[in-house]
Structure 1
Amino acid sequence: MKLRFKKEDLNKGLQSVQKIAQDKSNNISYENGLLIKAIGDMIEFQANDYDMGIRTEVPGIIEEPGEVFIANPFLIELTRRLPGDEIEMIKEDGDTQLLLKGGKLKFECLTINPDDFNEVDIVENGTSSFTTDSITLKDLIDHTSYACSTDTARPIFTGTHIDVSGTTLNMVATDTHRLALKSAELAQPVEQPFKAVIPSRLLMEIARQLPTDIPQDVQIVALRNFMTVRFGNIFIRTRLIEGEFPNYRRVIPTQFTSTVTLNRQEFTAAVERASIVAKDAQYNVINFAIQDGQISLTSQHPDYGTIEDSVSCQIKGEPIRIAFNGKFVLDILKHCHSEEIVLQLKTSSPMLVQDKDEQNCVFVVTPMRAK
């Protein structure tokens, strides 16, 4: 095999597969590494750790076709630093070494038998499929996946739930203490509705790959225990979490006694200040008192003192006193974007947070016992 790449093209290909191919243990493993396959006029890079498989095409010149399986923790970092704009890859038939050349530098690395690599098969059809665009999909992931649980004892909550029906695509995540839901409209309705839960780690890798400068069509195909995502020259296959996601609609409150409208930046700054003390105390508790046109925030640490702050707001309904985890509130505020936000509350019930005049994104956080 003998290939020539532009350095930029090679690095793009390696970056596409690096999270899956990177061998963090510095040991050769069949579940790490990447396959480079040059057949006909196409060069493919593949990586597959069985949770996720990625396959992408890379521009280059094929002087001699062939394939090579590499599990080397230094390859990706080294190609970033190679001098020159052109890089050569050479592997002689029967040789176990791959030669990488760039400028005056030569790097020889061991290879593995390519027959041991589990190739990522492209799937065209499944139980259901739909098409969206890369910007919309990344926005859905960014607004929801942060709320996933990290508790592996309940794996269903460690993933983000996709719920597709008609022309509506819902994405929702919850760790049972908070919930994030965002919806988007599809250009074409799905023929077969489907629901799936994708591990948060894998979904974040999909988001990292999605182009956001110019929207690209993204085709998603669902099967029983895995899902595929295809856009541009990248094909991704990801496993799904088995089990049934709870009915998230029941968690979203619908009855409130108080509605508060206030400036997002002012409120965020006040919560950040209150969290300076609260974040080191147990549960990060911040007490909120809403009355007389303002929200008063109080947090305390048994060893270091008490903070009191306030923000002006517009209130409809009853005065209310309630406490929340400061970190959870800040996480929500980081994903709000309007100048004003709306809080809807009821004593001892979850709070619903939305950007003002935006109905397709909802955040919910459960209250804590006030101190």
Structure 2
Amino acid sequence: MNPDLSPAPDAFRKRFPVLERRVHLAGCSLGARSADLDTALARMLDDMADGGAPWALFEEQVRLARVQFAALVGARTDQIAVVPNASVGAYQVASALEWTARPKVVTTTLEFPSVAHVWLAQRPRGAEVVHAEQAEEYAELTDERTRLVSVPLIGYQDADRLPAERIARAAHDAGADVFVDAYQAVGVAPVDVRRLECDYLVAGTAKYLLGLPGLAFLYVREPGGMPREPRLTGWFGRVDPFAFDPRRLDFAPTAARFETGTPAIPACYAANAGLRLIRSLDPNAVRAHVHDLTDLAGDRLTALGHRVRALPRERRGAHIGLLAADPPALAARLADRGIAVSPRGDVVRLSFHYYNNADDVAALCAALGAPKQR
């Protein structure tokens, strides 16, 4: 994206009419609803009404989503599989790996359970899962027995940005593959699979890509170079899905081999709307804008007397954590005030996107006030 062509935050915000009456600080869980998303879903309904059996139109939406995501992360289209969620993407990778000669999986306690549990589930197949508590421990744990190193680009709990590029280089030096979960990064930070030098990457559409739940993408650097075929499959994983041959199991030579059955078509329409919005932006400008807002929110909340968990700017993703005695209850109270946030663990996550502004921070602070003294 040419930075000179990227819309200003105020212009981008106008694509989200809902923000005129609500404050949305929950993009780390579900992105704000845009007018573009509404238009896309209306188009799907029109396609259903006008097309009779509009499967060719649906297939075009799947193809376009693959193309747009590939362009966003610097991949080739043939390296992208359309999957239902990050868990299925991780499982497809795990199922196509052998764990006999190199059984170790190095992951982290910062990994979102949706991915972390997939690695644990490989233990009956021989996998040995070890966890790094800090980013620096990855190198210590990675050795000649390591088959896979799994790293979240941004941690889901505290928005900790891990040094994925450095971890990937060390993993490759040891002969291990690298899996990156970019779900909390793509859309609010530059993500380039070539710069990351990862072998696999997953990200989905529900959060900062401004789509709906039900769709994710799996990047595979060498789709045909894995030890095994994926264990989970379906008709979209075939060389020709429209051959309709129940006796033949041929896997596509591209990343489509990791696909299964019919994708969630409404999520594909929504994904294309969100991806078009994100691809209209300069990702570096988005990251700077988000960091400015997280700085502002952290400073103002701290001045009010609240306890805030926020990493240094250079290590921070798109959200900060507001410590609370009962995060779900606080999230519910804020929702009653028209402010959407996302509780996780001992914090209420306050996440920001390019559509947010300083008025959102002011509204949050006004709703919270100073904490009650005990």
Same fold (TM over 0.5): no
TM-score (norm 1): 0.24
Asked which structure has the greater CA Rg, the reply is 1
More helix per residue: 1 or 2? 2
Structure with greater contact order relative to length (CA < 8 Å, sep ≥ 6): 2
More strand per residue: 1 or 2? 1
TM-score (norm 2): 0.24
